[in-house]
């Protein structure tokens, strides 16, 4: 799916577009992550809800590949063995979905985004990343957010391989932003000098997505 194509309309996409248009779930309160663990407008869950664009790619470890392109000194095209040969890290973080659920204390294992960037060596003019997934989903991030200390390209959750429904065999986790920024089934990381809206950002959602500032929708 090309970056400017629309995914097929589903109940989820139509509902989320209506939420964006109506400004649903906004409380107007600004919280601080250093003092408020639960962002404004969020509620805690113990399960892990599944959200996607209506399709879940079936990926084998033999066919899986991750490309790092754009403004880097070393373009990467990693198969599963090469990805697993990178330094492996453990991480513990909360996650916050724009649909108002949050889940505390998720244990991940995978490759820290900083360790991947050490291999690719971003050029000085690289300021943003555009992420593309195997289902055609795209989302954008400032490079500084992608390279956050606790951001991880996760392959396990709670000691088990991440399931297909949750983005396995590998997905991004950027815990300090709303979870739509943590792309599932990640296929390509493209470093760019200028920002470019991804799927939900073209459909009414915020370009950055800070939960503590309630950056749910464009214009917030």
**Per-domain boundaries in the chain:** 11-213
Residue 45 vs residue 34, higher pLDDT: 45
Residue 156 vs residue 220, higher pLDDT: 156
Residue 141 vs residue 4, higher pLDDT: 141
Q: What is the pLDDT of residues 106-141, one digit of tens each?
A: 999 999 999 999 999 999 999 999 999 999 999 999
Determine the Cα–Cα distance for residues 201 and 196; give it in Å rounded to an integer.
9
Determine the Cα–Cα distance for residues 77 and 74; give it in Å rounded to an integer.
10
What is the pLDDT, as a whole number, of residue 28? 63
What is the pLDDT, as a whole number, of residue 59? 95
3-state helix, strand, coil in the chain (%, to 5): 20, 30, 50
DSSP per-residue letters across 161-201? EPPGGGTTT-EEE-TTS-GGGS-SSEEEEEEESS----TTG
Determine the Cα–Cα distance for residues 25 and 97; give it in Å rounded to an integer.
12
What is the pLDDT, as a whole number, of residue 206? 97
Q: What's the CATH superfamily of 11-213?
A: Oxidoreductase, molybdopterin-binding domain (3.90.420.10)
Are the CB atoms for 120 and 64 separated by under 8 Å? no
E strand segments, 22-170: 43-44, 65-70, 76-79, 89-96, 101-112, 128-133, 138-142, 152-157, 160-161
């Amino acid at each position: 799916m090309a970056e400017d194509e629309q995914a097929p309309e589903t109940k989820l996409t139509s509902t989320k577009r209506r939420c964006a248009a109506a400004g649903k779930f906004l409380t107007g309160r600004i919280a601080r992550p250093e003092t408020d663990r639960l962002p404004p407008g969020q509620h805690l869950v113990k399960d892990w809800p599944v959200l996607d664009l209506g399709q879940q790619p079936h990926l084998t470890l033999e066919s899986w590949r991750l490309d790092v392109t754009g403004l880097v000194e070393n373009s990467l095209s990693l198969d599963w063995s090469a990805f697993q040969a990178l330094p492996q890290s453990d991480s513990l973080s909360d996650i916050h979905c724009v649909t108002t659920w949050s889940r505390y204390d998720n244990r991940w294992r995978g490759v820290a985004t900083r360790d991947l960037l050490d291999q690719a060596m971003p050029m000085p003019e690289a300021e943003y990343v555009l992420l593309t997934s195997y289902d055609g989903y795209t989302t954008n991030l400032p490079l500084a957010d992608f390279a956050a200390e606790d951001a991880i390209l996760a392959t396990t959750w709670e000691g088990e391989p991440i399931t297909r429904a949750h983005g396995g065999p590998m997905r991004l986790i950027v815990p300090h932003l709303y979870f739509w920024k943590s792309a599932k089934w990640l296929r390509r990381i493209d470093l760019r000098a200028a920002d470019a809206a991804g799927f939900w950002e073209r459909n009414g959602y915020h370009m950055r997505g800070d939960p503590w500032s309630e950056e749910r929708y464009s214009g917030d």
